Amino acid sequence: MKEIEGRDYILIPERDLGVHEECGIIGIYSPEKKPLAREIYFGLFALQHRGQESAGIACSYNANKIAYYKNMGLVSEVFHDEEIALLPETKTAIGHVRYAAGGTSNVINAQPVVFFGRYGRMAVAHNGNVINAREIRNEMIKKGHIFQSSRDVEVIASLMNDVGEDNMEDGIYEACKKLKGAFSMVILAANKLIAIRDPRGFRPLVMGEKDGSIVFASESCALDALDAKLVRDVKAGEVITIEPDGTMHSKMLPGAGRKPCIFELVYLARSDSTIDEVSVYDSRYECGKMLAKLYKIDADIVSGVPDSAVVAGRGYSVASGIPYVDALSKNRYVGRTFIQPSQSQRESSVKIKLNAFKSNIRGKRLILIDDSIVRGTTSKKIISLLRASGATEVHMVVASPIVKYPCYFGVDMDTRDQLIGGYRNADEICKIIGADSLHYVPLDCLVKACGGIDYCTGCFNEDYSVDVSDICDEKGILSRACCDIEFECEE
């Protein structure tokens, strides 16, 4: 911590900042040709919180051409008027923002991935983690396939090319049947737009509509940004195809049974999104209210850690009658963290700045609400900052249960021994982070606050909803060389 112009700043290495989503995806079909790249751009902007490492847009050019551009950086850094203007008017386009939880931080791993194969030219954008990707890759290599990157999406593309169906949709469908794990995808092929959500629906995917256009996006906040109306969630296990004339048909993958990631509601998604018909805002607010009823703490003020715990903090305040104040201010221009996610960069670089509102907390007993404690180092630093800024007591109340187990489905929570809750109980964690008291919401209360549907809760109780017994903690990652920036209009 250092003093800058009368303010206390806390400097937190990127690695300390908790959990991170891998990607955001969007796809649009329009009945008429138009500059869809611009709309994809605005949609990606709304999904920026899901990945800040790279961004890309692919547009169908005609039945067998795809123009695309992708590069490292935030959406605003990758795309300017110049790049957008170069992408052709089209009826179908997809986009992607990436955070590299799996795979190297490199433009070659940026998406959409565009390739030419059995079914002609295709572009694929993927969110999630395919847990048998390594196994499939090894099989493909034995068959003579070659790989350029460490992306799951390249394995998926290769598999689609390998299954040997005459018809493209059947090929994609058969390939998806072989995938295990989390995959929400949008695909461009032969002027068609295809949206897919894995049989558990781990990662969100919604469908919207605007003036005859159909939009698929990771979160409904992207539909709002485009002024599109939310139609429904893509069902877990659903494969939806939009034909060039706008006809829509859908098919279900075998074994579909919705069990989406509850962490989307706890932390990952934007508060103004709706996922599987559950309002993220309402679930966080309700969770805060439940926490207030469960844990009656003698304190002067309550506050939420910005941004994702602010809503729960307000819920706690309303239910407890303890006034809500802003205790921490976040510099919004830093990005959501993990812009450069290599291990060395995470450990050494300073990526976020929080400062304390000293006059709000000086001499006060504070209840601090946070969405989760993953590694514990951030909580420790925040509590230390708040004490140094004058808080006389800091009681930590967490709007999720203890994170005890890793995630294998696209959220960057590493091996169990890196999780502070992996081998420690709440009392031990409380001592380590330096709080006066520490309370977690019980899992059944969290599920209730999140609408009571059947969720994946694996990182809390090891109930992953698919068999992960053959996966080790550290998933193998292939390293590879860098490639140049790509910009092509492919023939």
Catalytic residues, by residue number, are 23
Q: Are 209 and 215 in contact (CB under 8 A)?
A: yes
Residue at token pair 């790509």: 486
37: Cβ contacts below 8 Å, ≥ 6 apart: 57, 59, 84, 87, 90, 93
CB of residue 2 vs ligand SF4: minimum separation in angstroms? 34
CB of residue 411 vs ligand SF4: minimum separation in angstroms? 4
| Nearer Cβ to ligand SF4 (119/263) | 263
Strands 365-370 and 393-398, by their bridges, are parallel
Q: What is the DSSP letter of 266?
A: I
| Nearer Cβ to ligand SF4 (15/364) | 15
Report the residue from 67, 72, 297, 407 that binds ligand SF4 according to the rule CB under 6 A. 407
| Nearer Cβ to ligand SF4 (68/408) | 408
Which residues in the 268-287 window bind ligand SF4 by CB under 6 A? none
| Nearer Cβ to ligand SF4 (200/314) | 200
Closest by Cα among 24, 26, 33 to 191: 33
Span from 8-16, 161-169, 221-229, 255-263 in contact with ligand SF4 (CB under 6 A): 255-263
CB of residue 311 vs ligand SF4: minimum separation in angstroms? 19
Span from 7-15, 115-123, 422-430, 453-461 in contact with ligand SF4 (CB under 6 A): 453-461
d(Cα 89, Cα 32) in Å, to the nearest integer?
9
Report the residue from 179, 205, 262, 398 that binds ligand SF4 according to the rule CB under 6 A. 262
162: Cβ contacts below 8 Å, ≥ 6 apart: 140, 143, 145, 175
267 is a contact residue toward ligand SF4 (CB under 6 A): no
| Nearer Cβ to ligand SF4 (308/389) | 308
409 is a contact residue toward ligand SF4 (CB under 6 A): yes
Backbone φ and ψ for 354, nearest 5 degrees, come out as -115, 140
130 is a contact residue toward ligand SF4 (CB under 6 A): no
CB of residue 127 vs ligand SF4: minimum separation in angstroms? 12
Span from 164-172, 297-305, 384-392, 404-412 in contact with ligand SF4 (CB under 6 A): 404-412
| Nearer Cβ to ligand SF4 (68/409) | 409
Span from 29-37, 107-115, 118-126, 450-458 in contact with ligand SF4 (CB under 6 A): 450-458
Per DSSP, the residues of 330-360 read E-TTS-SS-SS-SHHHHHH-EEEEEEE-HHH
Tokens matching residue 418? 């890196």
CB of residue 464 vs ligand SF4: minimum separation in angstroms? 6
Size, binding site for ligand SF4 by CB under 6 A: 12
Q: Are 289 and 224 in contact (CB under 8 A)?
A: no
Residue at token pair 């090319």: 161
To the nearest 10°, the Cα dihedral for 214, 220, 221, 227? 40
CB of residue 458 vs ligand SF4: minimum separation in angstroms? 3
d(Cα 439, Cα 367) in Å, to the nearest integer?
10
CA angle 213, 25, 65 (to 5 degrees): 70
d(Cα 329, Cα 335) in Å, to the nearest integer?
14
CB of residue 379 vs ligand SF4: minimum separation in angstroms? 18
Q: What is the DSSP letter of 1?
A: -
d(Cα 387, Cα 377) in Å, to the nearest integer?
16
Span from 10-18, 69-77, 142-150, 407-415 in contact with ligand SF4 (CB under 6 A): 407-415
d(Cα 285, Cα 356) in Å, to the nearest integer?
23
Please give the span between the terminal C-alpha atoms of the chain, in angstroms, as a whole number.
55
CB of residue 289 vs ligand SF4: minimum separation in angstroms? 22
Report the residue from 69, 216, 263, 324 that binds ligand SF4 according to the rule CB under 6 A. 263
| Nearer Cβ to ligand SF4 (61/464) | 464
* Rg of the chain in Å (alpha carbons): 22
| Nearer Cβ to ligand SF4 (140/411) | 411
Instruction: Output the CA–CA distances (angstroms, integers) from residue 7 to 1, 329, 353, in the order listed.
Output: 10, 11, 11
Instruction: Output the CA–CA distances (angstroms, integers) from residue 275 to 214, 220, 271, in the order listed.
Output: 18, 7, 10
CB of residue 446 vs ligand SF4: minimum separation in angstroms? 10
458 is a contact residue toward ligand SF4 (CB under 6 A): yes
Report the residue from 207, 411, 420, 438 that binds ligand SF4 according to the rule CB under 6 A. 411
459 is a contact residue toward ligand SF4 (CB under 6 A): yes
Closest by Cα among 111, 129, 130 to 54: 111
202 is a contact residue toward ligand SF4 (CB under 6 A): yes
Span from 161-169, 221-229, 261-269, 473-481 in contact with ligand SF4 (CB under 6 A): 261-269
d(Cα 297, Cα 366) in Å, to the nearest integer?
10
Report the residue from 261, 302, 396, 447 that binds ligand SF4 according to the rule CB under 6 A. 261
Q: Name the residues that contact ligand SF4, by CB under 6 A.
A: 202, 261-263, 407, 409, 411, 456-459, 464
